[in-house]
Structure 1
Amino acid sequence: MTRVLILAAGEGTRLRPLTNDKPKCMVPLLGTSLIERQISCLKRHGIKDIHIATGYRADQIETLGYPTSYNKRYNKTNMVSTLFCALDFINQEGDLIIAYGDIVYNDENLETLLACDDDIALMIDKKWRDLWSLRLENPLDDAETLVMNEQGFVTELGKKPENYDRIQGQYTGLIKISASKIKELVKFYQQLDRNGLFDGKDFDNMYMTSFLQALIDAGWQAKAAIVNNGWLEIDSVDDLEEYESMAKQGKLEQFYQA
């Protein structure tokens, strides 16, 4: 059995004014909200055990009718803190998919992730520069390091790259944790130094990539579930406008089948 926890607590400040009165995950892409697009994809693959970790404008997400957990400190913490606000759901039985609330993806991308049975699977886009080149004048400005070994396991991610040599793909915000590792995952998080720094951030504000790197450094095997496009990240108004313009021109399907 596979369960999904969607992280949707953020305010989405770069999507204002669209997020003045709604959470980021409820912003529409071509008329359908990001989170509803994700949920439709999950349901097509028989995944119905869906839980949403909320924060900003949680009331709107609650209208969707799915179980939720609320991060009451959403405006003072980062995504890892939001993740573990849903501890009761995390501790339930079955493999666990963790999904960012501001992404959408094709069915085949989800299928690639589901096919991985390692401790951790991370959806990694090998053709990330195609998408980043549309969004940014210099793709390197917004990219992060992603290094894999010969067996296809991620050894480094989330750092600021100096060049393209240490970017073998981009982490996309979709994770699968094996059911057999859930208890160990929770224990690992609970034993982290609350007074430590994680890539320059305090415990409450560590990035998800920093948490994943800590797991990898501790010996966890994080397999890269390789995809070639087939997903979108919606981080700003410019992103949204670019995608909708591409859709009108019939050019979006290379990246996402809306």
Structure 2
Amino acid sequence: MKASAIILAAGRGSRMKELTEEKPKCLVELAGKPLLHWQLSALRAAQHERILVVRGYASSCIHGEFETAENPHWASSNMLSTLLCAQSFARNVFEQGVDRLVVSYSDIVYHPAHVRKLLTCGTGIAITFDTEWEALWRLRFDDPLLDAETFHQEDGLLREIGGKPRSLADIHGQYMGLLSFDRSGWETLIQCCAELGDTLDATDMTGFLRWLLARGIPVGAVPVAGKWCEADSGTDIERYEHALAHGNWPHDWR
């Protein structure tokens, strides 16, 4: 299977505070490497032929052996708007015969096996979710329900996402910020974003997935178990470093 990838790296990551005063969130280091380098390594290990990084805040800091696009409105937009800045790239790779296009948030790290598994999903749009999410959320938060969102899937299809959970039973897993599209799924994305019109910039990715479900558009849900994490703050980084130092951490992605 031929695959390419887009990394959404336009945001600053204000909750990182001083760590992103002069560089974007994707360049904050974890386990000795910037988050972006972990993503690039995983995608290349999963045989992605071309990788595009969509830049925004402190864009001159982001350079390397990958293609780039710009979101000049990064400060007033979101992940979905940033993804649309990659339309030319996506159109080109699909014309060149790519089977699936993986989209990755830039504040996550993950094992290459998760990407490979995501590529096997047959729906036009697919996401990964972590079935072992609770241990990771308990490491990050005193009460995992305060930050976690509802997530239901059935027979490999997403049924619900993004609500406020009342109990752990409302959560089959947690969305990770890793998606994929085949050509028809990408065309669906573009069409649906056009339908959102002026509300696009106010619609985050989880809200967009809910919007798709409300219209009966199937979204594949691919389960993985651990071996990833999301770095949303300096405290996250500190706690992950501590967990890695003590060994045998189920969310160690390396």
TM bucket (normalised to shorter chain) is: over 0.9
Displacement of 1:73 after TM fit? 1.0
State the Cα distance separating 1:15 from its structure 2 match: 1.0
Letter in 1 for 2:176: T
Q: Which residue of 2 aligns with 1:81?
A: 81
Other-structure match for 1:10: 11
Kept in 1, the 8 Å contact 2:130–2:223? The answer is: yes
CA distance in 2, matches of 1:185, 1:91: 12
CA shift digits 1:196-255 (9 cap, x unpaired): xxxxxx431211011112122222211111011110100011100001111222143x11
Could you tell me which of 210, 219, 223 is aligned with 2:220? 223
Counterpart of 2:251 in structure 1 is 255
TM-score, structure 2 length as denominator? 0.93
- Mapped partners of 1:87, 1:18: distance in 2: 30
- Give 5+ residue unaligned stretches, structure 1: 195-201
Give, in whole Å, the separation in 1 of the partners of 2:24 and 2:90: 23
User: Post-superposition shift, 1:140?
Assistant: 0.4
- The residue aligned with 1:113 is 118
Q: Which runs of 5+ in 2 are unaligned?
A: none
Q: Which amino acid aligns with 1:230?
A: K
Deviation per CA, 1:59-88: give whole Å up to 9, x if none: 111x22422111111111111111111211
CA distance in 1, matches of 2:169, 2:134: 13
The structure 2 residue matched to 1:210, chosen from 207, 210, 215, is 207
Query: 2 CA distance for matches of 1:255 and 1:232?
Result: 7
1:114, CA displacement in angstroms? 1.5
Q: How does 1:179-198 map to 2 (within 5 A)?
A: 179-194=183-198
Equivalent pairs counted in the alignment come to 248
Are 1:49 and 2:44 counterparts? Answer: no
Q: Is the 8 A contact 1:119 1:220 kept in 2?
A: no
Corresponding letter in the other structure for 1:145:
T
Structure 1 segments of 4+ aligned residues over 4 angstroms from their partners? none
Q: 2:128, 2:179 within 8 Å by CA — same for their partners in 1?
A: yes
Q: CA deviation at 1:186?
A: 1.0
Task: Pick one of 176, 195, 212 that aligns with 2:180.
Answer: 176
Match of 1:133 in 2: 138
Following superposition, the deviation at residue 90 of structure 1 comes to 2.4
Same amino acid, percent of matched pairs: 36
